[in-house]
Amino acid sequence: MKKLDEDGRPAIEGDLARLVAPSVAKMLSNQGPRGAFIASPDFAEYRYCWLRDGSFTAYALDCAGEHGSSRAFHEWSAAAIEGIAPVIARALDRRAAGEPIDPARMPPARFDLSGRPVGDDWPNFQVDGYGTWLWSLQQHLERSGEKALPSRLARSVDSVGRYLVEFGTSPCYDVWEESGDSVHTATLGCVAAGLRAAASMLGAPELAERAASLQAFVLDQGRRVGRFAKSDHSQQVDAALLWLCEPFHLVPPDEPAFVETVRAIAAELDLEGGTRRYPTDTYYGGGAWPVLTASLGLYYARAGDITAAERCLDWVAERVDDHGRLAEQFGGEGRDPEHYREWLARWGPPAADLVWSHAMYVVLATELGPPPAAPDVTTKTEPIGSQQ
């Protein structure tokens, strides 16, 4: 049984603390002075803060007891969202006027470390990060013992809640910045979890009703076809669907349609023990992601299969390099050399250190509790300022 602290939350100490310390240090070293988390310090295309990645990172730090750093991220996020309040308001006005969605005019998926939207040609219209932020913020309030939503954050929470009510079920780019003409099941899960969190934080029953309706819709869709699908345009399985169960708790682990989804993920997306994104993935050869392998481990842990969960944890831990780095993905160069070389020519080597990878490793490790023995790991980290 896990030892609990004085507030009834799992205590992080001893072997467990030593196990997660290198990854916690990595997350902290990649947090900017205002609270944002850079997605990767060594990959030019990722030198920004995504609401999605940052929200999972803040959640991981709350799991590890680093509530101050998580709080700084949420303060930064609220300020960044306050800064784009006019963009959200204009989008809502266009919606009310019946105008079609123009993805280029929608709120951004990522920001620079100062909180300004990033202006480039990357896909912009993604709603999953906004839902994930609301969910992560509520988790922070509960795990840190703050409970009540600070008044200084309420306006941004309300703004995002209203935005998700109107656009949360619209076709948009998925969590992988792809397929902008589809409604993605994993995105719907992020939105439902976010609306449920916003309803609780704001005391807004109308948001709770919307969240329940969306949750029921997602569950009905999965039950009708026997498992959950990637999107309304694709019946493929996507490992991001794991989040419907863990950590969002929108479906129970023994839901037959979800059990079948996990079976499909394990059968179709396994790569040497790790978990790939989806069957036709070609990004850097479509390797296995620590983020998703840890997500599968979280499902197994909740379902009571601790052996399988620990196997996922070990797979991730074995891929931390001698500098304490944990890459975005592994094995793509061997699985699909042609596409790996294509991305290598376009952007150079893939991210050798992804902050989100560390985050999900910490979440899984803290969920499982202390191992029988912790390895002696020396981690080299540099402050984010030295990586700019």
CA distance 122 to 101: 17
Q: Got the DSSP string for 75-118?
A: HHHHHHHHHTHHHHHHHHHHHHTTPPP-GGGSPPSEE-TTSPBP
Q: What are phi and psi of 234, to 5 degrees?
A: -145, 125
Residues annotated as catalytic are 174, 177, 328
pLDDT of res. 122? 83
Instruction: With residue 275 as reference, give the H or E element that holds it.
Output: strand 274-275
Cα-Cα-Cα-Cα dihedral of 383, 51, 57, 228, to 10°? -150
Instruction: Give 279's contacts (C-beta < 8 A, 6+ positions apart).
Output: 236, 237, 268, 269
How many C-beta atoms lie closer than 10 Å to residue 61's C-beta?
A: 27
The least confident of 215-219, 305-309, 373-377 is: 373-377
- Which CATH number is 14-387 given? 1.50.10.10
pLDDT attached to residue 14: 65
> Does 60 have pLDDT greater than 50?
yes
Domain ranges in the chain are: 14-387
pLDDT of 334 over the 70 cut: yes
Residue 95 has pLDDT above 80, yes or no: yes
pLDDT in tens, 220-240: 999 999 999 999 999 999 999
β-strand 270-271 against 274-275: which pairing, if any?
Answer: antiparallel
One-letter amino acid at 144 equals: S
Whether pLDDT at 2 is above 50: no
Residues with Cβ within 8 Å of 40's Cβ and at least 6 positions away in sequence, in order, are 46, 47, 328, 351, 353, 354, 355
12-58 confidence digits (pLDDT tens)? 556 777 889 999 999 999 999 999 999 999 999 999 999 999 999 99
